[in-house]
Amino acid sequence: MRAWLKTHRHAAGIRHALEWTQGAYSLVRRLAARDDRPALDGGWPVRLIGMPPPRPFTRPERSALRRAARAQSTSFFDGEAVRTFEARLADRFGCRHALAVSSGTAALHTALMAARVGPDDEVIVPAMTYVATAMAVMQQGAVPRFVDADPGTWNIDPERIEEAISPRTRAIIPVHIAGVPCDMEAIGAIADRHDLSVIEDAAHAHGSTWRGRALGTVGHLGCFSFGSPKSITTGEGGAVLTDDSELFARARIAMNLGETAPEGGSPMEHAFFNPQTRLDYTMVGWNYRMSTLQAALGIGQLDRFDRIRSVRARNGAFLHDRLGALDGLAVQRVCDDASPCYYTFPFLLEEDCPLDRALLLQGLAREKVDVRLWSNLPLAAYEVFGRDGEFPVAQRLCENSVGLRVDPAVGSAELADMVTAIRRLLEWGRGREPVRA
């Protein structure tokens, strides 16, 4: 215990020293009137010290890990932490059932299996999203049908969905990009008309709400990813959420190699098997089990989630207001009945922006400001999916957008530095047009 306290105090002391040094540098920079030129043009960089690294785990996570280790039950089957994490997820996000799995991709694939999507079926997928959304469809032998993005929200454009629907279509996967909610009313109405399943990809959207409901609980099934940059992280991991008991039962079987107990339910629902117990395998399933140690981290994250959510939402709102007011940039439109909890904060370089993305990224690197990037191409452009139409909105967003960190390690000083760095680069670019990398 003494060793831990000594190490913790030493690390905290280093952090405070770095914060003090950066604060003193920022004050001197302003007093010396060195805010006029970006570092790319020989000015003083906004930051002397790089931005603080994300620190997703604190005392609650460490305590939960120690409890799991002391219990010596690391198996998915006897791990109390996994069942506790599932129950806590369902309660926190307001749904009847939550199923912990090994990744966000596993969650999507499990949801597709539960929804009975099969070979040669078609699934509507946004043209702009992470590759896992479409890969999960292909894992099930189905065909992703891509739909362009809405230029305001950057999410799948509901007005283009119906033209992509065919007699083979079985599901729609709306993705809440960066945590900004899709138009779930329009998507739900389309799904009802065509008898389609709605599988929400809420990998970016833990804590975001639409009309007061948590994203991931609005469709028939919802999928979370708990990868390292997410609002809730277990390092890797994911979850499937649903209010439908039949879908949940199929998902539980599908993610555990299709294994069923004598009465047809999941073996995890039975406390004891006698020597005569006969398991059965009624469907092709996969091993997507979450470990007890991952679940323990998730429990610690849920203990702190109100704080995590409020900081991310506040940081995103700050950047939305400040960057949205700068000429040459555009931010995502958020519907009046939606409340985003940002995974990252993206902005778009518009046609009249004096910088292209390459030069902006170069400039932000000189300012020691962290950035996050999307894919450079719509998914349909990749060889693995084949070219299937043109997606001009997604193309423009992929090629000209940049993301900024909003995790709780980012404070008001870092947010102000981000805005200052971007503003200086834009002003410098307008004074030196044409400016291209």
Q: What is the pLDDT of residues 198-245, one digit of tens each?
A: 999 999 999 999 999 999 999 999 999 999 889 999 999 999 999 999
Answer yes or no: are the C-beta atoms of 215 and 340 closer than 8 Å.
no
Q: Which residues contact 99 (CB under 8 A, 6 or more apart)?
A: 86, 110, 239, 240, 241, 248, 251, 252, 255
Find the radius of gyration of the CA atoms of the chain. Answer: 23
Kind plus residue range of the DSSP H or E element containing 170: strand 169-172
Q: Say yes or no to pLDDT of 437 above 50.
A: no
The residues of the chain that CATH labels 3.40.640.10 are 59-303
179-193, 248-262, 296-310: lowest mean pLDDT where? 248-262
Residue 86 has a pLDDT of 96
Question: Which three-class secondary structure state does DSSP give residue 166?
Answer: coil
101-105, 164-168, 198-202, 383-387: lowest mean pLDDT where? 383-387
φ/ψ of residue 308, rounded to 5: -60, -45
Task: Tell me the pairing of strands 280-281 and 221-225.
Answer: unpaired
6 has catalytic annotation: no
33: pLDDT confidence band, cut at 50, 70 and 90? low
Orientation of helix 2-31 relative to helix 412-431, angle to 10° = 30
Question: Cα–Cα distance between 38 and 31 in angstroms, integer?
Answer: 16
Q: Give me the catalytic one of 29, 47, 230, 250.
A: 230
Which of 333, 318, 307, 311 lies closest to 418, judged by CA? 318
The residues of the chain that CATH labels 3.90.1150.10 are 2-54+305-431
Looking at the structure, give the CATH architecture of the domain made up of residues 2-54+305-431.
Alpha-Beta Complex (3.90)
Q: Say yes or no to pLDDT of 298 above 60.
A: yes
Q: Does domain 59-303 have CATH number 3.40.640.10?
A: yes
270: pLDDT confidence band, cut at 50, 70 and 90? low
Q: Identify whether 167 is preceded by a cis peptide bond (ω within 30 of 0).
A: no
14-28, 54-68, 90-104, 346-360: lowest mean pLDDT where? 14-28
